[in-house]
Amino acid sequence: MSAKQTATEILKDKFFYYHLKINTMETLIEKDEELRQKNYELVQRFMNNSEKQKWFDMLHDQTVLEFPYAGSLHSPERLEGKAAVVNYLSQMLAQIGDLKFEGVVTTKTEDPEWFFNEYHADIITPSGKRYRQIYINKMQVKDGKIIFNKEFWDTKKILDAVDFKINN
């Protein structure tokens, strides 16, 4: 600011600066909302899809899948990479059967990449036993694919329904 600038010029400069800043912030918020909605729709397709091959197609190549309670089943608690996750899920689904999630409630977060889901399953397994489960997960979307999924479920309900074994 030069000494020759008038008060009006100073106010105009400040007004322009704040106007530009507000417009930039509004644009960023709009982009976040667009991304959040796009990611939300992907999460909804993933959670409500009964065709598991489509599940696999929605996974990021560097996806991570965590099951914090799976260790009690002598099963991995963390899988890294699409190949490892697809291998695990394929084996698990072969034992559990036609797993379809119901009552899916997805919660958006402030971060447009992160979502929480609550859902349940109630099916008859290939062995003829009933499998009822309530799940909660935390999911992250990156580059239009699921890159992280941390899922919580009751291991006893799996043991009651199937002889659960996963080969690495």
Predicted confidence at residue 19, as pLDDT, reads 55
**Residue-range domains of the chain with CATH:** 7-161 (3.10.450.50)
Distance CA 94, CA 82 (A): 18
pLDDT, tens digit, 9 for 90 and up, residues 58-98:
999 999 999 999 998 888 999 999 999 999 999 888 888 88
Question: 64 Cβ partners below 8 Å, 6+ apart?
Answer: 78, 79, 80, 85, 147, 148, 149
Per the CB < 8 A criterion, the answer to whether 89 and 67 are in contact is: no
Mean pLDDT confidence for 39-59: 91
Highest mean pLDDT among 21-25, 27-31, 53-57: 53-57
Q: Is residue 32's pLDDT more than 80? A: yes
16-25: per-residue pLDDT in tens?
656 555 656 6
Nearest partner of 89 among 130, 146, 141, judged by Cα: 146
Tell which wins on pLDDT, 108 or 53. 108
Q: What is the pLDDT of residue 14?
A: 67
Q: What percent of the chain has pLDDT over 90?
A: 57
Those residues with Cβ within 8 angstroms of residue 94's Cβ, 6 or more apart along the chain or in another chain: none
Mean of the per-residue pLDDT values for the chain? Answer: 87
For CA atoms 163, 127, 64, 136, the dihedral sign is negative
Q: What is the pTM of this model?
A: 0.80
